[in-house]
Structure 1
Amino acid sequence: MDAVILGAGMHPWGKWGRDFTEYGVRAAKDALAEAGIAWTDVQFVVGADTIRNGYPGLVAGSTFAQALGWTGARIASCYAACASGAQALDIARTRIMAGLCDVALVVGADAAPKGFFKPVGGPGDPDWLRFKLLGASNPVYFALYARRRMELYGTTQDDLAAVKVKNALAGSLNPNARYRKAVTAEEVLASPMVADPLRLMDICATSDGGAAIVLASRDYARRLGARDPVRLAAISTVTPTFPNTVLELPNFATDSAAAVPPPARPFRSAIAHAAYEEAGIGPEDVSLAEVYDLSTALELDWIEDIGLCGPGEADKLLRTGQTALGGRIPVNVSGGLASFGEAIPAQAIAQLCELTWQLRGAAGARQVEHARIGLAVNQGLFGHGSAVITTR
């Protein structure tokens, strides 16, 4: 049984200073309105959790259900760091495909702190150890990837600036984006250095925002009169393979008895290719991609990891305009995290909103022509990866 997308909704990203629940409820109501159904029609609600917003954030399914009004719907809550939204979608999709419900609502929202993220836990938290013992805050972590890329493939700071320019232009066309202003390469290169080689405008911000999706069985969509709805063709939530991920930190299993044969692909590549396999397509079939651009350099890495080109070739695609709006394989036509910032539990859901609107031909000035297959990927802390594929 297929799961299809009836409605998508978002609360614009920004720094609004309000409770995250407000953002999620706004997104949910917009998604329900687009689907043409009432809140009382929803049988299952999944909330993507946000651990930075107190107990209500840790039981997001219940929080959103209560805010929308108790109806007796079944609920679930899900936390998987930056992949929380994708795993929440997977829970809802699985329940529909199992025939246990006809229509489900998936919601994620966040009210992020100002500045770069700080570790939430104490000394037993690997994030805390990375920050406090290694001094590797997120920008430093992103910079290590960027420096590696520059050494391996000759990527330049001009290339990194070009990624920001591309995404800022797309974001300027998106009413839900936080930053809606085109920028020049000179402005990017003049922004303050944060962690060499990454400047302030190379790194995504933290944001408030919300996103929601209404999923349904194809039979339900047909009864509702929905014509040719967007199909949720695959969701991958794979974990790393032991030989590639050996961290001598608390709470990480490094027992050699758990080892398996070396992976055929690195982790980020495996995330996308598991989704390709499930959907029965290949990277050559993708019309557009939303990738997890925590930094400008990471966007280039992701383009290669998901198979849109070979290792070291993303710079060429960028320089020749192939990943820009109007190019052969547009990447981050929503504006990406460069234009939105991070609202962690909403991110993967927001990516799916963009794919949905693009495949419907409803993306306005940023519309990709003849969009038929969309891919969204991201990676969360603690080995959470996700990829979502939509088709028409």
Structure 2
Amino acid sequence: MTEEVAVLGAGMHPWGKWGRNFAEYGAAAARAALTDAGLEWRDIGAIIGADTVRGGYPGYVAGATFAKALGWQGARVASVYAACASGAHAVDAARAQILAGLADVVLVVGADAAPKGFFRPAGGDRPDDPDWLRFRILGATNPVYFGLYARRRMALHGDTPDDFAQVKVKNSAMGALNPFARYRSRVTAEEVAGSAVVADPLRLLDICATSDGGAAVVLSSMEFARGHGRPEPVRIRAVSTVTPRYPNAVLDLPEIATDSAVAVDPPEETFRRSIARTAYEEAGTGPEDLSLAEVYDLSTALELQWYEDLGLCGEGEGVKLLRDGATALGGRVPVNVSGGLASFGEAVPAQAIAQVCELVRQLRGEAGDRQVVGARVGITANQGLFGHGSAVIAVR
């Protein structure tokens, strides 16, 4: 089992469309995390920034950008980019520094100021980038991918558009209770069905928005935590950042086929399932031990897929889990009690850190009306483009 690191503080800047520089959101989240930890910025030995490709050059050196915004104090600095998994990879880099003895306490920050509409590749023509190629050659924006995934579930497992809508209903009810969420109103299945079609069968309310926001956590060695009055802090027990395994050659969101599907048998497990398995193995735990999960619900249909990929149920049984209420607050394994992307929208480098923030609040028993009673073990999960895995397991 990997050595644990403590989470001393968690902080966020509310999600929305604020029209300001990403560094402002990150600095505000960082200050909130420091306050939660009972520490000052000068106490931090290292800062890891999760990069944004939409913030110009400062976004590519996010660690230094946030350090400057907080005030130069000599901390070690690093910047990490892993697309949607950037925040979790930044957490992993911070953990590595702590376990290597390079720093006792590390601040991890991610923030974004997102454009309106769907995300498009940044940085001009990039013919070696499959993300750019699918936009340029196929016209396949992210919602098109989400729609293909939903169609696949409908064909293989009999999922229906109403099932997808019920994911939104569940998550919006939680987002209505979360002060950091962008959308804080309940949504009905009828409202989902009445919203505009974006990528059949998905409608506007099935797909997450793009948002501004920031999140931060303060991590430390267990020795530092105990020496600062935190004998039983929330602890990170595992971080999975694995890449796909051949012949699983699809590096993008839907695993509809592989580049080598004609020549070889399909892989025994999908990329996302390997992300979860690696996290469970490192933590010495399994899906049966989970109190809650925070997953990357880019679309309502994708959340159902995560149920299966995390081992909460068997293949094709995600809808049954949803219909039985198992993933709602009070159910066997509540999923996205933060409200998920359905309520926040996507602020790419911040979101995986925000997922950890939710686990921290839940495991401390500080989530108010969203509290999962007796929460002891939580997992986060998302996937970055180009083969970036991401899962974090935290325990109390």
**TM-score bracket relative to the smaller structure:** over 0.9
1:331 aligns to 2:335 (yes or no): yes
C-alpha deviation, 1:264, in angstroms: 3.9
CA contact (8 A) 1:326 1:368 kept: yes
Percent sequence identity over matched residues? 71
CA, structure 1 residues 103+261, in 2 after alignment: closer, same or farther (shift >3 Å)?
farther
Aligned match of 2:255 = none
SS of equivalent residue, structure 1 residue 168: helix
1:165 aligns to 2:169 (yes or no): yes
Aligned match of 1:122 = 125
CA contact (8 A) 1:161 1:202 kept: yes
C-alpha deviation, 1:246, in angstroms: 5.7
SS of equivalent residue, structure 2 residue 148: helix
What CA distance in whole angstroms lies between the structure 1 residues aligned with 2:338 and 2:350? 14
Task: Map 1:221-300; keep pairs closer than 5 Å.
Answer: 221-245=225-249, 263-300=267-304
What CA distance in whole angstroms lies between the structure 2 residues aligned with 1:2 and 1:102? 13
| Counterpart residue type for residue 378 of structure 2 | G
CA contact (8 A) 1:47 1:77 kept: yes
What CA distance in whole angstroms lies between the structure 1 residues aligned with 2:13 and 2:95? 23
Structure 2 segments unaligned to the other structure (5+ residues): 252-257
Aligned match of 2:30 = 28
TM-score norm. by structure 2 comes to: 0.95
SS of equivalent residue, structure 1 residue 161: helix
CA, structure 1 residues 96+164, in 2 after alignment: closer, same or farther (shift >3 Å)?
same
Aligned match of 1:84 = 86
What CA distance in whole angstroms lies between the structure 1 residues aligned with 2:103 and 2:136? 46
Aligned match of 2:45 = 43
What CA distance in whole angstroms lies between the structure 2 residues aligned with 1:144 and 1:180? 28
C-alpha deviation, 1:128, in angstroms: 1.6
What CA distance in whole angstroms lies between the structure 2 residues aligned with 1:262 and 1:97? 37
What CA distance in whole angstroms lies between the structure 2 residues aligned with 1:159 and 1:246? 27
| Counterpart residue type for residue 55 of structure 1 | Y
What CA distance in whole angstroms lies between the structure 2 residues aligned with 1:40 and 1:246? 44
Task: Map 1:310-329; keep pairs closer than 5 Å.
Answer: 310-329=314-333
Aligned match of 2:375 = 371
C-alpha deviation, 1:262, in angstroms: 7.2
State how many pairs are aligned. 384
What CA distance in whole angstroms lies between the structure 2 residues aligned with 1:347 and 1:274? 21
C-alpha deviation, 1:2, in angstroms: 2.6
What CA distance in whole angstroms lies between the structure 2 residues aligned with 1:255 and 1:368? 42
SS of equivalent residue, structure 1 residue 118: coil
C-alpha deviation, 1:263, in angstroms: 4.8
CA, structure 1 residues 140+285, in 2 after alignment: closer, same or farther (shift >3 Å)?
same
CA contact (8 A) 2:172 2:186 kept: yes
What CA distance in whole angstroms lies between the structure 1 residues aligned with 2:198 and 2:328? 26
SS of equivalent residue, structure 1 residue 18: coil
Aligned match of 1:16 = 18
Aligned match of 2:136 = 132
CA, structure 1 residues 243+36, in 2 after alignment: closer, same or farther (shift >3 Å)?
same
What CA distance in whole angstroms lies between the structure 2 residues aligned with 1:173 and 1:136? 34
What CA distance in whole angstroms lies between the structure 2 residues aligned with 1:216 and 1:2? 9
What CA distance in whole angstroms lies between the structure 2 residues aligned with 1:200 and 1:227? 46
C-alpha deviation, 1:134, in angstroms: 1.0
C-alpha deviation, 1:255, in angstroms: 12
1:72 aligns to 2:74 (yes or no): yes
CA, structure 1 residues 164+219, in 2 after alignment: closer, same or farther (shift >3 Å)?
same
| Counterpart residue type for residue 284 of structure 1 | E
SS of equivalent residue, structure 1 residue 16: coil
**After the TM superposition, which of the residue ranges 14-23 and 122-131 deviates more from structure 2?**
122-131
CA, structure 1 residues 131+99, in 2 after alignment: closer, same or farther (shift >3 Å)?
same
| Counterpart residue type for residue 157 of structure 2 | Y
| Counterpart residue type for residue 219 of structure 1 | E
Aligned match of 1:96 = 98
C-alpha deviation, 1:261, in angstroms: 10
What CA distance in whole angstroms lies between the structure 1 residues aligned with 2:235 and 2:336? 20
TM-score norm. by structure 1 comes to: 0.96
4+ residue stretches of structure 1 with deviation over 6 A?
A: 259-262
Aligned match of 1:357 = 361
What CA distance in whole angstroms lies between the structure 2 residues aligned with 1:288 and 1:260? 37
Aligned match of 2:6 = 4
C-alpha deviation, 1:326, in angstroms: 1.0
What CA distance in whole angstroms lies between the structure 1 residues aligned with 2:166 and 2:227? 47
CA, structure 1 residues 222+328, in 2 after alignment: closer, same or farther (shift >3 Å)?
same
Aligned match of 2:199 = 195
- Specify which of 58, 61, 69 is matched with residue 60 of structure 2: 58
CA, structure 1 residues 183+255, in 2 after alignment: closer, same or farther (shift >3 Å)?
closer
CA, structure 1 residues 294+255, in 2 after alignment: closer, same or farther (shift >3 Å)?
closer
SS of equivalent residue, structure 1 residue 167: helix
Deviations 1:138-163 (A, max 9, x none): 00000000000000010011100100
CA contact (8 A) 1:376 1:387 kept: yes
- Compute the RMSD of aligned alpha carbons: 1.7
